[in-house]
Structure 1
Amino acid sequence: MKLFDISMPLYNGVPGWPGDTPYHFELAWTKEASGSVNVGKMEMSNHTGTHVDAPYHFNNEGEKVIDLPLDLYMGPALVIDVSGVEEITVEWIREKLVDGTKRVLFKTKCWQDRTVFPEKIVPISPAAVPFLYQCGVQLIGVDMPSVDQLDSKELGAHHALYKHNIHILEGLVLDDVPEGDYELIALPLPLKDGDGSPVRAVLREI
């Protein structure tokens, strides 16, 4: 069974949200200096690269990362190709999303150059969220930094998804993943106070 690594590599200079804490890695100890080991340290935003959004990210009363149900981040997932659309609406997903789909990943291919932060993405229409809920969706993933427009302050999609108890996975790399059914594994770290968490996300062919 083929395995797809759908995570963004993390490296010094990886694009993050403008103004947010940039990713930085360095060796705190070198083998030469310590006499035995290299030990690295890193600083980063919780929303760098491939990550989950905990509800606390946009709602002060929402769950933090430690409270997220781990079973949501493992199991069957459907990849839907919506590349070329300007917004993810019911119109574009109605024929592809079937009842009982618990996890759905949207392949937009709108972030072509991942060495720079995108200027524009393909948001999820808040009006599409009730349809996702009716189909049984509990987790959505996107190949973009957000499910809302990059300049949005209202975060309509985030709040609509939270209202319908649908969790969020962002920053996936789906360019080489064909549309279809897979097994997803994308576990967040056990961060007690976290508003988000980096993940190593993979898809395995079923």
Structure 2
Amino acid sequence: MRAMTATSTPSPALWDISAPVHAGSPVFPGDTPYQQQWSATLGPGCPVNVSALTLSPHVGTHADAPLHYAADGAAIGAVPLEAFIGPCRVVHALDCGPLIEWTHIAHAMTGTLPPRVLVRTYARMPVDRWDAGLTAYAPDTIERLADAGVVLVGIDTASIDPADSKPLPSHQVIRRRGLRVLENLVLDDVPEGDYELIALPLKLTTADASPVRAVLRALPPRA
């Protein structure tokens, strides 16, 4: 698959697939919202603006660390970066219901599958509100992606498990299979196809997740 559009409008060379982060950004109920305070402001005797931030590392587009779903898991700063950069495939599974089953993405599992798969479920990703009915991955779908050599899965919702899940079966699959995960991607304007993903987490040495600035870059034309 290649990145393409249905019209003659040229595709951008770079897609920003990161959710905006500000005081109104939705968070999982009970999680810490984004807050910003100014500890210094430009004025007489002060040459700079300096802010202080308080937020959950799960606000906006983020990468979960194994520490998020396993007591003995690695913090995000200790996770190798290779999974977060490289070829990926964007797959559309709009209106697929509560779980992404294999049948919803099978149409895009052709040819050589890149080791990163990002799934779009929203027509428009709700960047301004919490969605308790978010779509998640079926655990078997992640198992099959791992069997196909996928090392990172992504989704445009806040979790790869249902919002009310306690066992977190899909998180447990990525724990057991050693996959990485990106959540809260904004894939609204990205056509199905293959791209280069760049979504590096911060080197937070004790954190269970990290915000990322996720982008997709168009692949060079085939010779």
Q: What TM-score bracket applies, with the shorter chain setting the length?
A: over 0.9
Provide Cα deviations, 1:48-97, integer angstroms capped at 9, x if missing partner: 00000001101011111112111111111100000110121112222312
Q: Which amino acid aligns with 1:130?
A: E
User: Structure 1 residue aligned with 2:165, among 152, 172, 176?
Assistant: 152
Shift in Å, 1:122: 1.1
TM-score, structure 2 as length reference: 0.88
Distance in 1 between the 2:84 and 2:156 partners? Answer: 16
User: Structure 2 residue aligned with 1:73, among 76, 79, 84?
Assistant: 84
What's the counterpart of residue 40 of structure 1? 51
Q: Which amino acid aligns with 1:181?
A: D
Higher alpha-carbon deviation: 37-46 or 83-92 = 83-92
SS in 1 for 2:163: coil
TM-score, structure 1 as length reference: 0.95
Distance in 1 between the 2:45 and 2:75 partners? Answer: 37
User: Kindly, what percent of the aligned residue pairs are identical?
Assistant: 40
Provide Cα deviations, 1:18-56, integer angstroms capped at 9, x if missing partner: 111110112110011652111111100010000000011
Over aligned residue pairs, what C-alpha RMSD do you find? 1.4
Distance in 2 between the 1:113 and 1:131 partners? Answer: 28
Q: Which amino acid aligns with 1:169?
A: L
What's the counterpart of residue 91 of structure 1? 103
In the alignment, is the contact (CA less than 8 A) between 1:97 and 1:135 conserved in 2? no
Gaps of 5+ in 1: none
Indicate whether 1:18 and 2:29 are aligned: yes
Runs of 4+ in 1 over 6 A off after TM superposition: none
Higher alpha-carbon deviation: 51-60 or 121-130 = 121-130
Q: Which amino acid aligns with 1:173?
A: V
Q: 1:4 to 1:101 in 2, by over 3 A?
A: same
Indicate whether 1:192 and 2:202 are aligned: no
SS in 1 for 2:114: coil
Aligned length, in residue pairs: 206
In the alignment, is the contact (CA less than 8 A) between 1:110 and 1:122 conserved in 2? no
In the alignment, is the contact (CA less than 8 A) between 2:142 and 2:173 conserved in 1? yes
What's the counterpart of residue 6 of structure 2? none
User: Structure 2 residue aligned with 1:138, among 133, 151, 156?
Assistant: 151
In the alignment, is the contact (CA less than 8 A) between 1:53 and 1:168 conserved in 2? yes
Q: Which amino acid aligns with 2:47?
A: S
Distance in 1 between the 2:109 and 2:184 partners? Answer: 21
Distance in 1 between the 2:54 and 2:212 partners? Answer: 15
Q: Which amino acid aligns with 1:83?
A: L
